[in-house]
Chains A and B, each alone.
Chain A
Amino acid sequence: MTSVVLDNVRKSFGSLDVMKGVDLTIDAGEFCVFVGPSGCGKSTLLRIISGLETSSSGKVFIDGKDVTDAEPSQRGIAMVFQSYALYPHLTVAENIGFGLSLAKRPKAEIAEKVKQTADILQLSHLLDRKPKALSGGQRQRVAIGRAIIRNPKVFLFDEPLSNLDASLRAQMRMELTELHAKLGATMIYVTHDQVEAMTMADKIVVLNGGTIEQVGTPMALYNNPATPFVAGFIGSPKMNLFEGEAAKRESCKTYGIRPEHISLSTTDGKWHGVVRHIERLGADTVVHLDLPELPSLVVRTEGDRSISVGQTLFASPFKSKEHRFS
């Protein structure tokens, strides 16, 4: 069953084309992540789905219904903003119940639903506080609570974790994934952070310059990137990509090999180069090599290997892990 379908969605601001014809199908219950660099149109696409922005042409279907011209509140969606967008003058309970109170539902029903939602998100002890008295993670949870209480078919997240510190972000990633499993609702999540995309998504949509580069599961994108852009965007450290002479020697337009798919040796190998820089990450070591005939090569190797700057090393790619883009 499909939940969200985009049919040739285009958006232009004046003469600037932001979305250049996007076709996409998101299945019900899927956790779909839009990922791409700044300005690729991922947030615009999310806002078009939410109805906050209208598309210049094309259609949007949610749950089989054409909602292209429907009001945001009629679409069965809920949205969590990057800035949380909590109403500063209302308490947590009022923030969560705001949508219901707009719909003029009875007070008892609102209180009941707010309590249920707060229980799911462990916010029950904070219901009387104002947003300014909450920590970043708690504000995030209130924003999610405001989304949950609407019981939407589709949740939209616009870079919700980018204002949190690293450890809290990791925790919230897990909480969101668990929430997704618990609610079973369709979630569309926008981020520029490929780690979030890889760890949370059922399906990743890589956007670049207003078009979709590739759609697939995290591992499919990692193992079989369709374009050099996807190859470079998914995976950390970035895939080594060679163009020009070096690629021609491999009989392709762009040649790619991931840092973790290269073996290092002191005696022999396909390439040889001088160590320019070493990043010790503990479990891994990232080595930057200067090659005579290629641009620099990044290699990921085990953490306790003794390497020093200036040393000459040989590197060989794993044969089955090479990527050739024509």
Chain B
Amino acid sequence: MKRRQLYTGVVALAASGVVFVLPFLFIFITAAKTKQDAASLRFSLPVEWRLWENFIEVLQARNYMLLLAYFNSTVITVVAVTLLVLFGAMVGYVLQRRPSRWNTVIYGCVLAGLMIPPAVVPTIWVLQSLGLFKSISGMILIQVAYGLAFTVLLFRSFIATIPRDLDEAAIIDGAKPLQIFFRVVLPLLKPVTVTVIVVQSIAIFNDFTNPLYYLPGRENVTVQLTLYNFQGQFQTQFNLLFMNILLVTIPPLIVFVFFNRQIVAGMTAGAVKG
């Protein structure tokens, strides 16, 4: 039994190594190669380590476009996630705490938001008629709309675990509905809020297709779109492309490493009574 456990453990480790670690290593060593060396796309150590030079070159490419992209992506991510947490928690709170005939309708809308696939062209029409197409704020609203359904469900199930007595104690203490929400309920949502922040900020930061559709324009570039800088119709600079991938991967990685434990805590909290 023990030996068998050892074997399965080794096999599982090897499999996850192949799936997760090898690609990352490949990115790293290719990012350190020269242009010619990288073009062969072989899994070998670089002939000449050019990590720093490649880094500078990627940074300076197209007039420091990567920095602008970092700025844009950060603005979109931070604002969108803030709105998601705020609205998700509020909708979840009202859905859970105030039963009314409208709840079924709202709940139906939330589920529809999860089930109905987004249509790109009509969305662009709407954005154009609102004057939000090609704008950062339009992009933020789209990310909020895409993420809200899942966020509401997550918050709603978590709020169900907060005893109603707390709301009532606050009412007796003289709290208005908004005060109950911000001073009693929201602080208690911390575990699930961390989950939402991590999951959504990584999803939004790493989003490639939505900025591609809804946010064209050189000044609107987001980090994932900078990958196009080094990938042309006739030639691709693989060393710089992979250096770019490496740089773009680092922020979500840091977030994940720090919040790893809380994510799981928030995901399972409310599933079982603790």
Chain A: residues with CB nearer than 8 A to chain B? 50, 52, 71-73, 77-79, 81-83, 85-89, 98-99, 102-103, 146, 150
Contact = CB atoms under 8 A, between A and B. Distances in A.
A150 B174 CA distance: 10
Contacts of B168: 52, 79, 81, 85
A49 to B, nearest CB: 12
Nearest to B171: A72
Interface string B85-109: 0000000000000000000000000
Contacts of B172: 50, 52, 72-73, 77-79, 99
Nearest to B188: A89
B173 A98 contact: yes
A88 B190 CA distance: 12
Given A72-B171, A89-B190, A102-B179, 12 more contacts: A52-B168, A52-B171, A52-B172, A81-B169, A87-B169, A89-B188, A99-B172, A99-B173, A99-B174, A102-B174, A146-B169, A150-B173
Contact of B163 (A50, A85, A146): A85
Contacts of B165: 81-83, 85
Contacts of A89: 187-188, 190
A85 B180 CA distance: 13
Nearest to A87: B184
A79 B174 contact: no
A150 B188 CA distance: 24
Contacts of B183: 98, 102
Given A52-B168, A81-B168, A73 B174 contact: yes
Interface of B: 163, 165-166, 168-175, 179, 183-184, 187-188, 190
Contacts of A99: 172-174
Given A77-B172, A99-B173, A99-B174, A87 B179 contact: no
A73 B173 CA distance: 6
Contacts, number: 52
Nearest to B173: A99
Contacts of B163: 83, 85
A95 to B, nearest CB: 9
Contacts of B171: 52, 71-73
Contacts of B174: 73, 99, 102-103
16 contacts: A52-B171, A71-B171, A73-B171, A77-B172, A79-B169, A79-B172, A87-B170, A87-B184, A88-B188, A89-B187, A98-B183, A99-B172, A99-B173, A102-B174, A103-B174, A146-B173
Nearest to A90: B187
A103 B176 CA distance: 11
Nearest to B167: A85
A101 to B, nearest CB: 9
Nearest to A99: B173
